[in-house]
Each structure stands twice: as C-alpha cells, then as structure tokens.
Structure 1
Amino acid sequence: MTERSPTPPVPADGQAVAHRFIDIDGMQIFYREAGPRDAPVLLLPHGYPCSSFQYRRLMPALADKWRLLAPDYPGFGLSDTPPVGNFAFDFDAYAAFLQAFCNKLGLDRYGLYLHDYGSQIGLRLAIRRPERVAALIIQNGDIYEDTLGPKYKAIQEFWRDPSPKNRAVLEEAVSEEGFRAEFVGEVPEAQAAQIPPDLWKLHWPLMNTPQRREVSRKLMEGLKQNLEWFPRYQSYLREHQPPALIVWGPNDGYMPEESARAYLRDIPKAELVLTDGGHWLLETHLEQVVPVIRRFLSSAHSH
C-alpha cells in the first residue's frame, strides 16, 4: 500500500464576505465586509425594505480588487434599534450615521453605490464630504420629482391628505405582503422567480416590531421633506461632476427609465446602462451588471 503524501490545507476563500459588529455612538451595528483592506473602497448603503443582505452577491464578485462595506442602518437588519430619543431615524440621521461609520473605519475616500433610499442617504453623505467621493454607481435611486413613477401615488395621496384612511395604506405596505410586493410586484414572472423569497421572509420577522414598523412608515412619510432636497442633490452633481455609472432596471413603478435619464441633465458625462430588469437588478441581472461595474470602477480609480 503506497502512502499518500499529506494534502496541503485548502486556504480560506479570499473573496468571502465577513460578517461583523461594530459600536457606533453606543449602537451595535452589523456590517458586511469583503476585499483587501488596502483596496479602493466601495460603500454600499442599502435601500427599503432591505438591509446589507441585498449586497450579499455583489460583494464577492468585486472583492478581488475592491474593499466593500455594507452596514445595516439603525432600526434595520441585524443592527440595534435605539430609543427614538437617541436617534432621529430620518434621512439626515442616517447620513450622519454613515459618516460616523466611515470615520470609525478610517475611510477617507470611497465610491458610493446609490440605490433606493440609499441614494438619498448616500447623496447627503456626499454633500457633507464631497472630497471623499471617488465615484458614484446609481442604480434605481430617484432624485428628480418630474419623473417619479405611478407607484408614488399612495404616498403622494398621504402627503396631500394625511388622513387616517391614507395613513392606513402606508401601514399596510409595512407588512410581509407589502415587502413581497416591493421585491416581485413589477417584474415578469421569469425574473420574479429569480428573486429569493428570503428577501422578505427573513427580513420581515426582523422588521416586525412596533418601533421598526413605525420607523419604516415614518421614512415613507418623510419622503415629502426629502423632495425639498432633490434640488440640492442635483446641484451637488452639477457642481462636483463625480465619475458616475447609471445602471438601471426600468421595470420599476417608483423609478421608470425617465428617472435614470434625468441624471444626464446634471452629469452629462455619466455612462447610462439600461437593462430589461426592475428595481432589484442585483438579484436578476448580476452577471450582466458586474462586468459593467468592474470596468467603470477600474476606470474611475485610474483617474
């Protein structure tokens, strides 16, 4: 019987995502991290109704060349939900949180992935610290009032008339069925089948507390004040002209194709890539989107 030479141990996956907790202003914050510590940083603020989980597939696909960081906001995902008196739970408070997260991790330059609510929060961070922004990837995040899609109707009704009846519509949206509709409500059946039910089935139990439901509803109500920020987001883009990639799924009742094209008014040199997907492109079109993102980030960081 021949003796086998000992098998060398298999090294750990260099592109694996690490799952960590960090203390930010007394809150236990969960975040995902991948890639070399000394690589260019891509910051991934999440949207609604989600958490850093939405980036779980993108992160390993870029981790060979970039350092990726995706925190769960306070009141979302696996992060703490502090008492209302300790945290404001509005877009400004979340931008301040993102800034504190960057400071804590010593991030002084980063690309920003702008998606859904993360686009509002990320752009507020960019306005606070424009010198830190290396590039923007804009994916289904709206900042142009004249291109808002038909799905805004219920929220706009509430803004016009904040009656109990109109508030009830928003409260119903903050439910497991409401979350499911956000993920699969608008894409063709074949694409909907690619979106894992884990996105709402696992996230809803985390969000189903009285305070977290209230936080979610208040953020929807707060979109009205956010509209007043739209011109500020636009002037930031006009003034600073950050390198930008606009990659979009037009099957989106909140943010149709016009919402993507509107960005070209302020950043005409941005690259625009339209797919046949919807709001959750990283679930349905990851393989098409990753090469585009890699090429863009490589070129943005070489300048």
Structure 2
Amino acid sequence: METLTTTTVLHKTITVNGLNIFYREAGPANAPVILLLHGFPSTSHMYRDLIRDLANSYHVIAPDYPGFGQSSIPALSEFEYTFDNLALVVEQFIDQLGLTKFSWYLQDYGGPIGFRIISKRPELVEALIIQNANVYNEGLGPVVQEIGALQQAGDEKALDAAIACKLSLEKIKEEHLLGAANPETVSPDSYELAHAYMARPGVEAVQVALFRNYGTNFPKYPEWQQYLRTHQPRVLVVWGKNDLIFTWPGAEAYKKDVPGAEVHLLDGSHFALEEYHEEIAALIHDFLKR
C-alpha cells in the first residue's frame, strides 16, 4: 500500500471475484485501520468528511458495494443481490487488501453485511463502531416494520411501490433531513448524489432485489447477539436518536449483550454524519486510544 499523507484521499479500484470494487483510502499505511461500511441509499461518499477527520491517526478504507456508487453493477442475471453475497464480496475485499485485525464502522446496510463477516471471523475485530445499524428488534422503526409487513403479506405490488418510493429523490432527501437538528448543515450533495446513483439504468432492479432479501437479516439477529455476548468486543455506539428507520432503543440494546458498550445518542437523523462528523470523529479518537 502507498504511504499516504494525512491530507490525501485516494480513490481506487480493485477486482474482487470479477467485479470492480471502488474504495476511498486515506491515512498512513502503518496506522491502525478503520473499515467504513456504508448504508442505503448511500455510498462511501457518506464518509467523505469522517475520512479526513480520522486520517491524521488512522488508515481509513471505505468501499462501495456491488450495485452502489463507483463499483460494478452486474445485472441480476450475472450476480445474485443478497446480503450474503454482498458480505462475501466485502470479505474477499478485506482479504485482498491484506487486512487482519481492525476497527469496523457499520451504518445501516453495513450492519448486516459486517456482522455476517465478524460473527464468522471474530479475529478480524479490533473494535466495533456502530452508527444507526440495528441487530435488535427494539430498534426496528416504523419504516422497516412497514416494509417487513408487506414482505410477510406477500403483497409484491405494494412492496414494489414502497421500494420505488424509497428510491425517489423526495424520500431520499426526507430521510437525510427528517430528525436533523440543523437541516441547513446537511449538504444537498449528499442526497442529490445518492439519488443520482440510484437513478442509473439497472440500479432500481438491484435495490428491489436487496429490499426483497432484507428479511433474511432478522433471523440472524440472535446469531449476531450471541457473537457479542461470547466475544465481548469493544463497542462504541453513535446514533442519530431521531432516526425513524432504526430508532434509538436499538442503540441502547447493545448494552444487553456488551454491558461495557459506550452509547452516545446525538440529536440527529439516520445520516448523523452529515451534522456530526467532527463530534463522532472525536468520540472515535477518544474511544480507540483508551
């Protein structure tokens, strides 16, 4: 890996199992590693500020999943878009970069993707930083419950309509701003770019496939909770407490299995980094250096 200055963010691509996987990288190559796994409808772009905040002290790496951002978007006939398969690609990405033991930052989709890997390979975990990423029923907000109810009812027409709504600019913007304490600090670039990526040819079909597969995550919650109980990793939870997707009780729930988990509830939305990247970076610095 290159020796990076603290002010340099590299934009790189490697081939993982025939797919081009884009990632952002910054910080000294010999510094402790933090892997940042993004959520929906975001990409590694959601970490643009946090990467610079952390790069003085850490080697920070943030990939885009297949079907997201600058990574490959194989057709559904060429790649099965499931959370199992996204996790396999991220695991191969980790191995190809030679990452061994590092800190994980998990937000939204990053939760089920990351927990699939770490529950199988706990030796990869130095610490967990959880931001609005749920593994407890307590944190399932009304938005998630609505989608889940449509899936259980088998109402594909209504489900597809709900998914199409979530891909709209109006809904993506709403989810960035709803619950924000200071909406003027949320850059329009964040939701405009997320929508632009989602509006590309073929991407809606990818996202529909992933939404339909999302129900595979809930049965794994007990397995991931067992990982936490058994291995007692160091856990820092930073959570936008006004999130209606994953509500704040999901943040407090981590203490059930890791009593030493440090939980901070911020007066923000599902996309708390848009308002609080500096505060979250300070919490990460303090937590990891203790």
- Bin for the TM-score computed over the shorter chain: over 0.9
Cα deviation 1:78-129 (Å, max 9, x = unaligned)? 1111232432221111111111111111111111001111011111110121
Alignment match, 1:4: none
Question: Partners in 2 of 1:165 and 1:140 — Cα distance?
Answer: 26
Measured against aligned partners, the alpha-carbon deviations of 1:250-270 in whole angstroms (never above 9, x if no partner) come to 100022221111111011111
Q: Please report how far the alpha carbon of residue 57 of structure 1 lies from its aligned counterpart in structure 2 after TM superposition.
A: 0.4
User: What RMSD, in angstroms, separates the aligned Cα atoms of the two structures?
Assistant: 1.6
Is the aligned partner of 1:294 residue 2:285? Answer: yes
1:105 matched residue in structure 2: 97
Classify the secondary structure of the residue corresponding to 2:56. coil
State the SS of the aligned residue for 2:25.
Answer: strand
- The alpha carbon displacement at 1:246 in A equals 0.9
1:263 pairs with one of 254, 259, 262: 254
Q: Deviation digits for residues 218-265 of structure 1, max 9, x if unmatched? A: 222222121111111111111111111111111000222211111110
Q: Does 1:94 align with 2:86?
A: yes
Instruction: Give yes or no for the alignment of 1:14 onto 2:36.
Output: no
Asked if the contact 1:140–1:260 (Cα under 8 Å) also holds between the matched residues in 2, the reply is yes
Instruction: Decide which moves more: 172-181 or 258-267.
Output: 172-181
Please say if residues 5 and 28 of structure 2, whose CA atoms lie closer than 8 Å, have aligned partners that are also in contact.
Answer: no
Match of 1:174 in 2: 167
Contact 1:49–1:179 (CA<8 Å) still a contact in 2? Answer: yes
Q: Aligned equivalents of 1:49 and 1:270: distance in 2?
A: 28
TM-score if structure 1 supplies the norm length? 0.90
Secondary structure in 2 aligned to 1:288?
A: helix
Offset of residue 13 of structure 1: 5.5
Equivalent position of 1:8 in the other structure: none
Structure 2 residue aligned with 1:44: 36
- Choose 191-200 or 159-168, whichever is displaced more: 159-168
Unmatched runs of 5 consecutive residues or more in structure 1 = 1-11
Amino acid at match of 2:185: Q
8 Å Cα contact 1:35-1:65 kept in structure 2:
yes
Offset of 1:210 from its aligned partner?
4.6
Q: Which structure has the greater CA radius of gyration?
A: 1
Contact kept, 8 Å, 1:49 with 1:182, in 2: the verdict is no
**Identical-pair percentage:** 38
Whole-Å separation in 2 of the counterparts to 1:247 and 1:172: 28
What corresponds to 1:187 in structure 2?
Answer: 180
Aligned counterpart, 1:6: none
Question: Number of paired residues?
Answer: 286
Q: Is the Cα–Cα contact under 8 Å of residues 44 and 71 in structure 1 kept in the other structure?
A: yes
Q: Is the 8 A contact 1:155 1:221 kept in 2?
A: no
Tell me the distance in 2 between the aligned counterparts of 1:169 and 1:281: 24
- Tell me the amino acid that sits aligned with residue 68 of structure 2: F
Shift of 1:198: 1.1
Return the match for 2:209 from 201, 218, 221: 218
What is the alpha-carbon distance in structure 1 between the residues aligned to residue 244 and residue 111 of structure 2?
17
| Alignment correspondent of 1:279 | 270
Aligned equivalents of 1:230, 1:206: Cα separation in 2: 30
- From 44, 52, 65, the equivalent of 2:57 is 65
Give the letter for the 1:277 counterpart: G
**Aligned partners of 2:265 and 2:194: how far apart in 1?**
28
- Letter of the structure 2 residue corresponding to residue 298 of structure 1: K
Q: Report the more deviating stretch, 69-78 or 80-89.
A: 80-89
Residue ranges of structure 2 left out of the alignment (5+ in a row): none
